[in-house]
Amino acid sequence: MSLSIEHVTKKFGDFTALNNVSLEIQDGEFLAILGPSGCGKTTLLRIVGGFETPTEGSVKRGGGILSSPKENVPVEKRNIGMVFQSFALWPHMTVREHVQFPLNSRRCTMSKKEKQEAADQAITTVGLAGLEKRYPGELSGGQKQRVALARAIVAKPSILLMDEPLSALDAELKINMRQEIQNIHKLTGATIIYVTHDQSEALAMADRILIMKEGKIEQLGTPREVYCSPQTEFAATFVSKCNLVRGKWNGNEFHVRDQDVVFSAEPAAEEFLLKGICPIRPEEFEIFREKGGICGNIVNRQYNGREIHYTVQSGDDFYKVYTGQERLYCEGETIYLRKKVS
Ligand code: ATP
């Protein structure tokens, strides 16, 4: 059963947190909602979860209304699981007690044995077997987040809502937990709606990414689509960290402003054509000492292991360039930037 978000607007007083948002989320899909702080990600998630009602528009599941200004199916009847940024664990409850907690409601018709089996299964799924009797104070950050995940999936929800679930974890653990969340997605088959402001998280895990800005949808597409073909200036800089080269489009050619340089490039999205912008990702540029291309000076060099990151100044413009280690350029050197032929 797909989930339809239809023309959802949410106002808090005079402030519009969501502005006419519409999209369809397929059953079993992993959708990441990506955007900067305050763009309305959590508000959209809370409306899907039933914690907020829309000011206008509706959320439907299989044709039936879940949320609208007049109707709101209660949270406990929506068959959803939630995982928050803070682990939301109680210090006096063990791992097993936490995981079994959602099954303790009067609405749950499982026998005691079935509840124990469901909790065991959830605990095993998240890799916590053996730690059932531990209290939160005896767990690492990653293990605490696993408890929160197990608690969210124990009642076999058809929709899992995750609000920045990895942001409290350190960098290495974050990467490991991404894989865990992907596994949980595969094992449970649940629809996952995952809020994040981290573009690498969204690109790594999601089937589709919804990019939001100031309460509106900027772009919706697969990771490859939003990364390789951003449709707006915001999507280009926020997701792909693109350089926005200024100039003029002429069919499949782009003439760089103030330089005698022409790039051949795919016909750009309308916004880029109108504004005279060619978005070029840092890894799409190549640096040469030989003349030809955008002339500039290296003003910064950073070693990043596999890549070297350069900042190049050309007049008033600054470009980011990521290269391999084959050739090293020095700060202060005059170089030429060319776009790789795709
Ligand atoms: P973050 O990444 O910082 O969590 P977000 O994209 O999830 O941000 P929301 O929490 O959805 O943003 O908030 C969107 C806007 O709505 C913000 O400007 C926020 O201050 C405002 N907002 C959210 N909830 C309320 C509320 N209950 N009352 C008034 N304003 C609110």
What digits encode the pLDDT tens for the residues 68-119?
A: 999 999 888 888 999 888 878 899 999 999 999 988 876 777 788 888 899 9
Distance CA 265, CA 253 (A): 6
Supply the pLDDT for residue 106. Answer: 67
Distance CA 75, CA 230 (A): 35
Supply the pLDDT for residue 1. Answer: 81
Distance CA 75, CA 49 (A): 6
Which ligand 1 atom lies nearest to the CA of residue 195? 7
Q: Is 14 helix (H, G, I), strand (E, B) or coil?
A: coil
One-letter amino acid at 44 equals L
Cβ neighbours, 10 Å, residue 224: 10
Q: Is 68 helix (H, G, I), strand (E, B) or coil?
A: coil
* Residue nearest ligand 1's atom 27 by CA: 12
Distance CA 320, CA 147 (A): 41
One-letter amino acid at 28 equals G
Supply the pLDDT for residue 189. Answer: 92
Supply the pLDDT for residue 56. Answer: 97
* Residue nearest ligand 1's atom 3 by CA: 37
For the CA atoms of the chain, what is the radius of gyration?
Answer: 24
Supply the pLDDT for residue 127. Answer: 86
Contact yes or no for 51/248 (Cβ under 8 A): no
Distance CA 269, CA 17 (A): 27
Mutate to test the pocket of ligand 1, among 11, 39, 51, 214 (most ligand atoms within 8 A of CB): 39
Distance CA 268, CA 313 (A): 24
Among 340, 287, 292, which Cα is nearest to 312's?
Answer: 287
Q: Which residues of the chain have pLDDT under 50?
A: none
Contact yes or no for 194/166 (Cβ under 8 A): no
Supply the pLDDT for residue 18. Answer: 98
Contact yes or no for 34/239 (Cβ under 8 A): yes
Match 């290296």 to its residue by tokens.
298
Supply the pLDDT for residue 115. Answer: 87
Ligand 1 first shell, C-beta below 6 A? 12, 15, 17, 35, 37-43, 197
Helices (H), 64-103: 95-100
**Length, in residues, of the chain:** 342
Q: How far is the CA of 43 from the centre of ligand 1 (A)?
A: 6
Contacts of 316 (CB under 8 A, 6+ apart): none
pTM of the model: 0.90
